[in-house]
Structure 1
Amino acid sequence: MDSKTLHFLSQLAENNNRDWFQANRKLYDAAKADMEQLVGYLIQEVGKFQDLGNIQVKDCLLRINRDIRFSKNKAPYKNNLSAGIGPGGKSSGKIDYYIQIQPHGQTFLGGGMWETTPEQIARYRQEVDYNAQELKTIIEDKDFRAYFPEIHGDALKTVPKGYAKDNPEIELLKRKQLFFMHQYTDKEVSSKDFGKQVLKGIELLKPFTDYMNHVLYNQGE
């Protein structure tokens, strides 16, 4: 990524209003083109080991405009550039590889169970209770854990209904969200091999996203 992209996003965070954005539209267009180049590279490379269908860059990029209708924060723009890469693109509704570019060390690659229905959480808990080893083999792999060192997201403070408190997998069963992420420094983002670094993370993340998509969306098929 061009260092100018991070600089633009940093400036946007300090001047998050329509007048400034329109006056600096060319800077945004350059940053967007930089993001499109990264996403295009990832689509091409991920497509070599996963069927992404015929998705295009535009299918993956998320809008920089914020939905402020129900938010107390009326800033019109996000302070980042982001994309969801996976079969169907950002609108598939399934778990994909989420990449967010944001200055000051807040750039990250992530994926996992985040916005789920009660029915999906029930499926997840049923699967973990039945056979937790499949999931644990993936997320406790040394290479995976080195790149994605901790679980992110909410968990119940009490035991979920229908499960015993002495269940050996109780901590996994408590999860309402199960998300992994790897953060990158601004120096890493601006390096020539940043795309390759993200690709490495996606390759490590794939077994987990495959597992979660099967559990949450393909149950009974």
Structure 2
Amino acid sequence: MSTNIPKSSYDFLKKLSKNNHRDWMQENKKEYLASEKELKSFYAQVQDGLQETDEIAKQKIFRINRDIRFSKDKTPYNVHRSASWSRAGAQRRGGYYLRLEPGNSLMAGGFFSPEPADLLRIRKEFEMDTTEIREILAASEFEKAFGGFNEQYAVKTSPKGFSKEDPNIDLIRLKSYFVEHSFTDAEVQASDFSEKLLYHFNLLRPYYDYMSAVLTTDLNGVSLIED
């Protein structure tokens, strides 16, 4: 598969960032709809590519309208377009995320703010043994692409019930376990962008296989999935 993001779609987002109000959007609705049609075609091809190596349950395209009810920023529209793909089945954890924004495009994957039970299970696993996860993080292609977990979301010292002296506290203290990779505008608009994107998505599979095993078993390795 060799598909790029049309320059017209990027140009629309650039113009929207400078004219983020409803009157302008109404005046340029035809261009917006054309851009959305092109992007949806690209998303569909990405999903087809993911299906070749994984099982995808659904695709979600995030709305361009911002929720401004509780925000000081009252601009009505997102100046980026985003989509995600969820893996199928209770035994497959994780998903794939793409953000398209001039000057700030990226892909990401992992577990962003997991629910409390999952977060505790992950931390307990890391308290017990981090050999496998550290091998995954240190794999040359994975490390080159992602550089490790995003550490922006973490407790200051240690979570309740865990020792700050634990040798694995660097992983235990995290509140999210996701990675990301940025793309330049030139990369996004190149003819091989879909291939490059899928390459980075596929790098997540060893991590997802490991985390799926963790999150579908208890600390004794007994399956939590009902037959």
Aligned equivalent of 1:49, options 35, 53, 64: 53
Gaps of 5+ in 1: 89-93
Paired positions, count: 211
Go from structure 1 to structure 2 and tell me whether the alpha carbon gap of 1:63 and 1:211 turns closer, same or farther (over 3 Å shift).
Answer: farther
Q: Which has the higher helix share?
A: 1
Q: Which moved more, 1:70-79 or 1:181-190?
A: 70-79
Go from structure 1 to structure 2 and tell me whether the alpha carbon gap of 1:213 and 1:82 turns closer, same or farther (over 3 Å shift).
Answer: farther
Go from structure 1 to structure 2 and tell me whether the alpha carbon gap of 1:28 and 1:143 turns closer, same or farther (over 3 Å shift).
Answer: same
Aligned to 1:96: 95
Aligned to 1:12: 16
Pairwise CA RMSD of aligned residues? Answer: 1.8
1:82 and 1:98 in contact (8 A); partners too: yes
Q: Which moved more, 1:79-88 or 1:205-214?
A: 205-214
Aligned to 2:182: 183
Secondary structure in 2 aligned to 1:86? Answer: strand
Go from structure 1 to structure 2 and tell me whether the alpha carbon gap of 1:217 and 1:101 turns closer, same or farther (over 3 Å shift).
Answer: farther
Go from structure 1 to structure 2 and tell me whether the alpha carbon gap of 1:23 and 1:118 turns closer, same or farther (over 3 Å shift).
Answer: same
1:28-76 deviation line (CA, Å, top 9, x unaligned): 11221221122111111110111124x4xxx421111111122221111
Give the deviation of 1:115 after TM superposition. 2.5
Gaps of 5+ in 2: 219-223
Q: Percent identity?
A: 33
Q: TM-score, normalised by structure 2?
A: 0.86
2:137 and 2:148 in contact (8 A); partners too: no
Aligned to 2:71: 71
- Hey, what's the Cα distance between the residues in 2 that align with 1:218 and 1:75? 44
1:71-97 deviation line (CA, Å, top 9, x unaligned): 221111111111001236xxxxx6310
Aligned counterparts, 1:8-157, within 5 A: 8-53=12-57, 55=58, 59-87=59-87, 95-104=94-103, 106-152=104-150, 153-157=152-156
- Hey, what's the Cα distance between the residues in 1 that align with 2:210 and 2:65? 32
Aligned counterparts, 1:142-221, within 5 A: 142-152=140-150, 153-216=152-215, 220-221=224-225
Give the deviation of 1:147 after TM superposition. 0.6
- Hey, what's the Cα distance between the residues in 2 that align with 1:131 and 1:45? 34
Give the deviation of 1:200 after TM superposition. 0.3
Query: Comparing both chains, which one has the higher relative contact order based on Cα–Cα distances under 8 Å and sequence gaps of 6 or more?
Result: 2
Go from structure 1 to structure 2 and tell me whether the alpha carbon gap of 1:40 and 1:151 turns closer, same or farther (over 3 Å shift).
Answer: same
Give the deviation of 1:160 after TM superposition. 2.1
1:112 and 1:212 in contact (8 A); partners too: no
